[in-house]
Amino acid sequence: MLSTSPDQQAQTTDAARDPRPPVPADPANQSGGVKGLAPLQLATGSFQQEITPLYQRIWFLAAVTVCILLLLVVLFLKIRIRSREKHPEIQLRKKAQLLLAENLSQLEKARSAADGARFLALCRQTIQQQLGLLWQQEPSAISLADIRSRIGDETELIKIFATAEQAVYGGATLSAGTMQRYFEELKRELEERI
């Protein structure tokens, strides 16, 4: 008869009494692993042919370049806005130049159409708008007395404005030569003041 140890006899008697099939042993414990950790991988995965650092990848460089360009654009715009806030006279001068160019084109159209009443009304409006911008005053509130007190009597601007005011109330008209002379004088006087 075979001799068995008491431990082996206890296991065989426990196995005979327990109807459940035996549980296979944990492979991690068989390979010397620690209980609760993932088992060792015996099969190799895929290999990377070349390891490229992030800063050398094209998509990363493109993203950084776009971010830097956006930062530079925002910085440029902020500097420009601050510069404009510090120098509002530049904006005022540009606005006055644009307004003068628009008014002179309207005056030219009235002059070429030989419409003396419209020409004088536009002369008055142009003088008021330009001086209103320069003096920081409502253009329609500027009168002949205001212009005389600030500019003086010796300029052609006073003569043109006085003729234009008389035309509003008296219906005066101008000849083609007078309109041409007024146009040139008005343009010269207002461009000097901008």
Q: How far apart are CA 15 and CA 99, in angstroms?
A: 107
Give the per-residue pLDDT at 21: 59
Closest CA to 143 of 122, 159, 165, 121: 165
Distance CA 122, CA 191 (A): 16
Chain segment 43-90, per-residue pLDDT in tens: 887 888 888 899 899 999 999 999 999 999 999 999 999 998 898 888
Grade residue 167 by pLDDT with cuts at 50, 70 and 90.
confident
**Residue range 86-96: average pLDDT?**
87
Q: Is 189 in contact with 155 (CB distance < 8 Å)?
A: yes
What is the model's pLDDT at position 20? 63
pLDDT at residue 15, as a whole number: 52
DSSP state of 137: S
Tell me how crowded residue 126 is: count the other CB atoms within 10 A of its CB. 24
- Between residues 22 and 68, the one the model is more confident about: 68
Q: What is the pLDDT of residue 30?
A: 52
